[in-house]
Chain A
Amino acid sequence: MADLNKFRYTIESCNHCGQCKWLLPGRMYGWDFASVCPIHDYYNFDAYSGQGMLNLAGEIMNGTLPHGEKLAEMLHTCTACGACDVNCKNVRDMEVLDTIYELRKDCAEAGFLPESRKKTAENVVKNHNIYGLPHEQRFSFLPEDFKDDPEADTVLFAGCSVYKHPETFLAAVKILRAGGVKFRVLKEDEWCCGASLWRMGDWEDAKELIVRNTEMFREMGIRTVITACAECFGSFRSGYPRFVETAFETKHISQVALELLRDGKLKLSKDELPVTACYHDPCMLGRLSETYIPWEGEIKSYGLHVPEKQWRRGEHGVYEPPRELLNAIPGLKLVEMPRSREESLCCGQNASDMDPDFAKHTAEERRREASASGADTIVSCCPFCREALDAQDEYKLQYLDLTELIADRLAEEVES
């Protein structure tokens, strides 16, 4: 059951300083590209921001505001990108995003979940993927002679996006094979990671799915889960520990590829790739990917947490491996956008079902920023960011998936 009282300290600590909405001074850039909260940037009202959502949570908690469809709509239009959380935690000990998650859960339990989210949840429960496509088609693209290592304790987890972008999965396969990594593919046993469920507040279905997946990993002796999907990565690390004890390690393909490159097991082609690229940090690979550490205790006077709490402030997301890989590609010039790493601007895709105009505006804003940084190419490694950022518009930027790019740039002798 949702319990907003668990977040009373956060809700009642907010001084409305507004730091949840604006770039931190450590990344200050100029007049442009200074906002970090996509919904506040678009809708302008303070209710559309971390600060405003804490206020809403407070009134719901105290019973002075009723649940309602409009509230659910606002909550789910927020992309839950976590920029507010990181900004607040730059100087405070507060759980802004977890309060927003709890409020979503509270609303869902009160019967207010937007129709598009209900549909997604139904798809995951019935078909084990977010799109509602037949489960048996999940790996239908694999060639008949595809061989993995069924005894391996490492699994390559494809994620639901494999329905739309099987080429990313195949690129990951190519990288792992080139590096000599033994891995297995779950095929019909692979179900959705559950990110969309727990993030939307459907805790019951999420728990069932996460317990199922974790138990399956345990039975199969899986010790390492590798994925090329930022959403799955973030879910395994920051979502699963909310429900179960996990006995497996999660790695993103960029981390694995970098390790292989450093160990000399992977070599990149010496052919130059003459592009100027910027890297877009997906929220779930960056600031939201820190491992969730459950905490229960008491907040005493003047903020003393007993027992001590391990804070997730966004500092230890996967920021450098993708950049180091890109820097290793001959000819590729890497430039940075003003809003990068823990201050990355969300692509907006997570709200495309709620308000397509807002999602489009946010994606365009990110492409504008990429263009202004001097890039002709945006590289990222999230299938949802890809849907938002791989667009034809005035900025004339090509989008490249990092996993596919690295696979394409493998030296031929390694490939063979």
Chain B
Amino acid sequence: MSFTEQTYRELEAVVGRRNISRDEYILAGNRAKTPEIPFAHKSAEAIVLPGSTEEVAEIMRICKRWELNYVAYVTACLPTAYASKEDTILIHLKRMNRILEINEEDRYALVEPGVRHVQLYPEVRKRGLSYAPPAVGPGGSPMVSYTCTGGDNHVQYGTSRPTRYLLGVELVTPDGEILRTGSLQADEGWFCPESPGPSLRGVVKGYSGNAGRIGIVTKCAIALDVCKGPAEIRKEGVSPHHKMFMDGGLSRVYVFNYTSMQDVCDAILALGENEVGATVQKYFYLPLALMMTDSANEFWEKWGDFKKIFPMPLVVHIAAGSVREREYEERILFDVVRETGGTRIPREIEKWWEEHMDYFMIVCRLQSVLRLGGSWFPNKAYAESTQVMCNVAESVDGFIYDYTDTGKIFDAPKNIQIIPMEYGHFASSELLFMWDRNDPDGFAHMREFTMASAESDRRHHFNEYSMYGKEWAEKITKAFS
């Protein structure tokens, strides 16, 4: 069936006239392609803005009755937030934007999809609590970050990935049924992701978010951590030079450079064994250079020096509960760095980190990577043991120079980050690369490079970018078919 006047009227009856539109200019606001994708989106038939779970459920029933496709979204940052077929409506969840509860005793926040990081993060900090902010900017949705993406993040060393922080979830199925998972099923509140009977966690999230999931999450509870280090953040300055400071007695940032990937990973593992540091990461140098400069031109002026100064930066944030604890962690840190061959990099760079703590600030600044035109792609974005991630990073040298040296992709061959999680028990990696979007062959180069990267993974028996690995993907397909 196709989208008709009758369909529109039914949807309008659910959300009200003000919250639905099929105006050509309104639709045009949600179909432009972004620079990192080589294809154009389809235009949706209409955009609807439900205000409650019940409205979402009713919309789903209408979609089922009329066989309409639907795409639910909040920020529209990912290509999956757009129509890819005819007869698709966009369900924009912006109006469902309440923080329903911040439970300080059981340490969770209950949110609707439209709540943004810039809203939730300061609210939990005020209460001495925190959560891992993924690198999506202030307008990103915590609920989407925790239910619809892989969610590797920059503070997962001392915490973990969002999979482990997702608690009770309310989901509307394509039939319009409202499904509640975890302790909610037993009317025991939002605090627990599991309940008697089969686990429904995988229905909601699994490993990689919404790949394969159906339905729309309308509420979720996120577990919170106690703030490591000082809860209070001092802010000053005017954009683009905002600064955030944390009490230097409890919070310190150190940046070291390494010349060998194995040495960096040895340092990561040693720090993890000693549970030293709140965040530890082998950072990628291209975003760091972009974050520390004000314009693309300034970046180009300084990039040559940056590459020489820190091709393999290890960033360690110590956030302690007391000065004594901080000093203790520092002593171990310096021992580990000495033993693994790290060197302190110029104070100016450490100072920049100190002036931009905490990590919410850092990850929001990470949008600077788009400053070079916006054509970017993550590669090798998967997780394994820290040693495997080290091997993955070392394997990049085997194929990347064919692309960087020929100008097919941006010349940043060491731009892979390794972020340990749970004190180094796992780690995730990301090889972020860019291509020239002025180059008519730019997308072809991007695809070619991605294929070469995947081929290298297969040769080395690493995970492929599919997240699961070919062998596991086949097993899963067989089991569920």
Stretch at the interface among A17-25, A124-132, A170-178, A263-271: A17-25
How near does chain A come to B341, taking the closest CB pair, in angstroms? 33
Whether a CB of chain A sits under 8 angstroms from the CB of B344 is no
Chain A residue contacts of B25, Cβ below 8 A: 47, 56, 65, 68, 70-71, 74
The 8 A-B pairs at the shortest CB distance, nearest first, are namely A26-B242, A47-B29, A18-B139, A303-B296, A52-B29, A55-B32, A22-B139, A302-B372
Known contacts A14-B34, A30-B126; 8 additional CB pairs below 8 A are: A15-B34, A19-B137, A19-B139, A24-B138, A55-B28, A55-B30, A68-B25, A303-B373
| Interchain CB contact under 8 A, B138 and A28 | yes
How near does chain A come to B31, taking the closest CB pair, in angstroms? 7
Interface residues of B in 6-53 (CB under 8 A from A): 19, 21, 23-32, 34-36, 47, 49
Residue of B nearest to A70 (CB): B25
- Name the interface size band of chain A: 35 or more
10 contacts between A and B (CB under 8 A): A13-B35, A16-B32, A16-B81, A24-B118, A28-B138, A45-B92, A55-B30, A91-B365, A308-B297, A309-B295
Chain A residue contacts of B240, Cβ below 8 A: 89-91, 313, 315
| Interchain CB contact under 8 A, A58 and B36 | no
| Interchain CB contact under 8 A, B371 and A12 | no
Given contacts A12-B437, A31-B123, A309-B297, contact A92 B92 (CB under 8 A): no
Chain A residue contacts of B360, Cβ below 8 A: 25, 28
How near does chain B come to A63, taking the closest CB pair, in angstroms? 13
Given contacts A44-B19, A91-B365, contact A313 B239 (CB under 8 A): yes
Whether a CB of chain B sits under 8 angstroms from the CB of A387 is no
Q: Contact flags (1/0) for A306-343 with B, using CB distance below 8 Å?
A: 00110101110101000000000000000000000111
Whether a CB of chain A sits under 8 angstroms from the CB of B477 is no
Whether a CB of chain B sits under 8 angstroms from the CB of A29 is yes
| Interchain CB contact under 8 A, B116 and A304 | no
Interface residues of B in 91-119 (CB under 8 A from A): 92, 94-95, 99, 115-116, 118-119
- Name the interface size band of chain B: 35 or more
Chain A residue contacts of B119, Cβ below 8 A: 30-31, 34
Chain A residue contacts of B24, Cβ below 8 A: 65, 68, 70
Interface residues of A in 75-94 (CB under 8 A from B): 86-87, 89-93
Cβ-defined partner of B30 (8 Å) among A24, A46, A90: A46
Tell me, in angstroms, the Cα distance from A34 to B99 when the chains sit together: 13
Cβ-defined partner of A70 (8 Å) among B23, B36, B410: B23
Whether a CB of chain B sits under 8 angstroms from the CB of A182 is no
Question: Which residues in B have some Cβ–Cβ distance to A below 8 Å?
Answer: 19, 21, 23-32, 34-36, 47, 49, 75-77, 81, 92, 94-95, 99, 115-116, 118-123, 126, 136-140, 235, 237-244, 294-297, 300, 360-361, 364-365, 367-368, 370-374, 410, 434, 436-439
Residue of B nearest to A56 (CB): B28
Whether a CB of chain B sits under 8 angstroms from the CB of A27 is yes
Residue of B nearest to A302 (CB): B372
| Interchain CB contact under 8 A, A47 and B296 | no
Chain A residue contacts of B81, Cβ below 8 A: 16
| Interchain CB contact under 8 A, A24 and B239 | yes
Cβ-defined partner of B116 (8 Å) among A14, A34, A343: A34
Chain A residue contacts of B35, Cβ below 8 A: 12-15
How near does chain B come to A254, taking the closest CB pair, in angstroms? 17
Cβ-defined partner of B296 (8 Å) among A15, A25, A90, A304: A304
| Interchain CB contact under 8 A, B32 and A54 | yes
Given contacts A14-B34, A21-B139, contact A303 B118 (CB under 8 A): no
Cβ-defined partner of A93 (8 Å) among B92, B295, B367: B295
| Interchain CB contact under 8 A, A13 and B373 | yes
Chain B residue contacts of A341, Cβ below 8 A: 238
Chain A residue contacts of B34, Cβ below 8 A: 14-16
Which of B29, B75, B115 has the most chain A CB atoms closer than 10 A to its own CB?
B29
Residue of B nearest to A307 (CB): B297
Chain A residue contacts of B115, Cβ below 8 A: 31
| Interchain CB contact under 8 A, A46 and B76 | yes
Chain B residue contacts of A22, Cβ below 8 A: 116, 118, 137-139
Whether a CB of chain B sits under 8 angstroms from the CB of A305 is yes
Whether a CB of chain B sits under 8 angstroms from the CB of A3 is no
| Interchain CB contact under 8 A, A301 and B436 | yes
Which of B36, B367, B436 has the most chain A CB atoms closer than 10 A to its own CB?
B367
Chain B residue contacts of A15, Cβ below 8 A: 34-36, 77, 370, 374
Which of B26, B239, B410 has the most chain A CB atoms closer than 10 A to its own CB?
B239
| Interchain CB contact under 8 A, B29 and A92 | no
Cβ-defined partner of A17 (8 Å) among B28, B99, B367: B367
Which of A45, A47, A86, A93 has the most chain B CB atoms closer than 10 A to its own CB?
A45
| Interchain CB contact under 8 A, A26 and B239 | yes
Given contacts A25-B118, A86-B239, A302-B296, contact A19 B138 (CB under 8 A): yes
| Interchain CB contact under 8 A, B137 and A17 | yes
How near does chain A come to B408, taking the closest CB pair, in angstroms? 12
